[in-house]
């Protein structure tokens, strides 16, 4: 109703993730609007139409655009009556080198063209030479995260050579997620692409000192590698909304985030946590659901936790 009355375009991403029942209703609504647009083109005076027994205005500029990934898990095929309302357009693989170059320029890099080639060469080689770990990501999302981090380093140190800044960003952001066996290969690739450039990792020494102190208070060994993982987790959370901590049993996954939480609290950053086992509950209980009998929304575990944290 809103799109039809204001003449705006509606752009719906990952459209076929919507359940099939909802898509059937959507197809009816879209057909009402498109039929009204067809009539309006032939008779400009008919700028209103019935939308589910309610007469509303219509602006001819209204449009609907959707994106889909048909082959992915959890995606549904569009119903035939809805598919008929859209004209399909196949998309090509994005030119990541060009995207990388543009993003580097927007972050203030003057040698963006050369650096974008090195960037993507590293990721292409990493994808082919490193082991196939489920948590490795050498795609566009990972590229954008590193570029944002490199842009932050560039603004903090505008006088440092751009090769050094990008190399440091690529190394420091990726090393925490690379398994031990793959690290020598990855470091070798960086040394080959940025020959003769040496730059020590920039560690937040204040956080490292706090982490070491808090680890001892929690009964852990303040090993140098353990403290580094705590600092790396904090750095990743700066550029990511969330992350997975993965590894074998006993490799200090829980100890790392607990130490970071205590270090943040000690340093004056109020930090809260809650523990959920998503496998112990169904999806509706985790995210919330609509009770079809009473037509009321029932909050899920995540909603309740977020609200309680906001109130605390």
259-293: per-residue pLDDT in tens?
999 999 988 888 888 988 888 888 888 888 888 88
Nearest to 205 by CA among 177, 172, 227, 174: 227
Percent of all residues in the chain with a pLDDT value above 70, rounded to a whole number? 97
CA angle 174, 177, 179 (to 5 degrees): 115
pLDDT at 15 over 90: no
pLDDT at 202 over 70: no
* Strand-pair partners of 248: none
Domain range 96-193, CATH class = mainly alpha
Please give the C-alpha separations between residue 107 and each of 102, 206, 237, in angstroms, as whole numbers: 9, 27, 20
Find how far residue 110's CA is from the centre of its chain.
27
The answer to whether the beta carbons of residues 216 and 266 sit under 8 Å apart is no
- Pick 2-83's CATH classification: 3.40.50.300, 3.30.70.260, 3.10.180.10, 1.10.150.80: 3.40.50.300
Give mean pLDDT, residues 69-80: 73
């Amino acid at each position: 109703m809103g799109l039809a009355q204001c003449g705006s375009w509606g752009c719906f991403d990952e459209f076929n993730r919507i359940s099939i029942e909802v898509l059937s209703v959507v197809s009816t609504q879209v057909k009402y609007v498109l039929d009204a647009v067809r009539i309006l083109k032939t008779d400009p005076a008919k700028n209103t139409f019935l939308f589910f027994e309610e007469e509303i205005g219509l602006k001819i500029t209204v449009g609907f655009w959707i994106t889909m990934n048909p082959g992915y898990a959890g995606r549904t095929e569009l119903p035939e009556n809805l598919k008929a309302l859209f004209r399909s357009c196949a998309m090509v693989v994005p030119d990541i080198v060009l995207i990388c170059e543009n993003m580097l320029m927007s972050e203030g890099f003057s040698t963006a063209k050369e650096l974008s080639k090195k960037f993507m060469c590293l990721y292409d080689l990493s994808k082919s030479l490193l082991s196939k770990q489920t948590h490795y990501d050498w795609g566009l999302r990972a590229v954008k995260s590193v570029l944002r981090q490199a842009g932050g380093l560039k603004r903090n140190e505008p006088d440092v050579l751009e090769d050094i800044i990008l190399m440091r960003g690529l190394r420091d952001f990726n090393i925490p997620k690379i398994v031990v066996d793959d690290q020598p290969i990855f470091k070798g690739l960086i040394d080959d692409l940025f020959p003769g450039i040496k730059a020590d990792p920039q560690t937040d020494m204040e956080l490292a000192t706090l982490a070491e102190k808090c680890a001892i208070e929690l009964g852990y060994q303040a090993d140098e590698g353990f403290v580094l993982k705590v600092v790396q987790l904090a750095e990743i959370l700066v550029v990511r909304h969330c992350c997975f901590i993965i590894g074998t049993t006993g490799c200090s996954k829980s100890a790392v985030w607990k130490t970071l939480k205590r270090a943040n609290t000690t340093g004056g950053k109020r930090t809260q946590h809650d523990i959920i086992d998503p496998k112990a509950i169904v999806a509706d209980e985790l995210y919330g659901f609509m009770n079809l009998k009473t037509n009321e929304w029932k909050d899920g575990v995540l909603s309740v936790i977020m609200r309680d944290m906001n109130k605390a």
